Structure 1
Amino acid sequence: MSDWEDLCKQCGLCCFEKWIDHNGRVHTTPIPCRYLDIVNRTCKVYHKRFTVDEGCVKLTPEVVRSVNWLPEECAYVAHVHKCDPE
């Protein structure tokens, strides 16, 4: 794993289905990705997740900056905000 991936605290919130309401607010559903082990919050197919699930998003710093569906408590979000002060 890279230093970037080591930031992950395995909350698993990025692995739950989301929907966007008519006001643009993102809502996380209680439905996890079928590959998420909900007990230990790890991906069962981590090393091949992008080929097994085409909906899996690779969370790079650029992606984290551009999406609005990651929770503020996500370690990636916190790191990006720390590195990119407003």
Structure 2
Amino acid sequence: MTDRFWETKSLDEMTQTEWESLCDGCAKCCLHKFIDDDAADAPATTNYVQQSEEIHFTSIACDLLNTKTCSCTQYARRTELVPDCVKLTKDNLKEIFFMPTSCSYRRLHEGRGLPSWHPLLNRGKKTAMHREGMSVRGKTVAEADADLDNFEEYIALWPLQDLD
């Protein structure tokens, strides 16, 4: 894809192929996350982050993630194999509050455009993204190897925010 369709089309106007190509492949969505709420009466599940809450990404990656390529080894079946896996769609994008601020879908939804390291701006290659430290490559522990009873010890300290 050589045309810059993301600059001329809304997310709703994009074809499925265009939609899929927006994913930068950082794999941050494949990380376990938790909400720090400090409130004893906080709900067990939530559909939004309250003002007193903060989302923490951990370095614990889904066992289906290939951490070298930052891609799912079972992409077509991921929601079947991992019931908590959320398939990002045009319809649910507004409700998925836990996507990192660097997520290309979130950036476009918020009117911020694609980051300079995005593969669509770099001949389809993830090299710039990895070089800038915006992917999870080399920063994770497999879910099967993590001590999930002490997940707070895995809070990600590497860049989750936008670089540009």
TM-score range, shorter chain: 0.7 to 0.9
Write out per-residue CA displacement over residues 9-28 of structure 1, whole angstroms, 9 at most, x where no aligned residue: 10000000000001321000
| 1:77 counterpart (93, 102, 106) | 106
TM-score, L = length of structure 1: 0.87
Gaps of 5+ in 2: 1-15, 38-51, 113-164
For 2:91 and 2:108, the matched residues in 1 are separated by: 12
Gaps of 5+ in 1: none
Higher relative contact order (CA 8 A, sep 6+): 2
| 8 Å CA contact retained: 1:61, 1:80 | no
What RMSD over aligned residues (CA atoms) do the two structures have, in Å?
1.6
| 8 Å CA contact retained: 1:16, 1:32 | yes
User: Does residue 25 of structure 2 align to residue 25 of structure 1?
Assistant: no
Deviation for aligned residue 1:69: 1.2
Aligned residues between the structures: 83
User: Does residue 61 of structure 2 align to residue 46 of structure 1?
Assistant: no
| 8 Å CA contact retained: 1:61, 1:76 | no
* Rg comparison, structure with higher value: 2
Q: Report percent identity of matched pairs.
A: 31
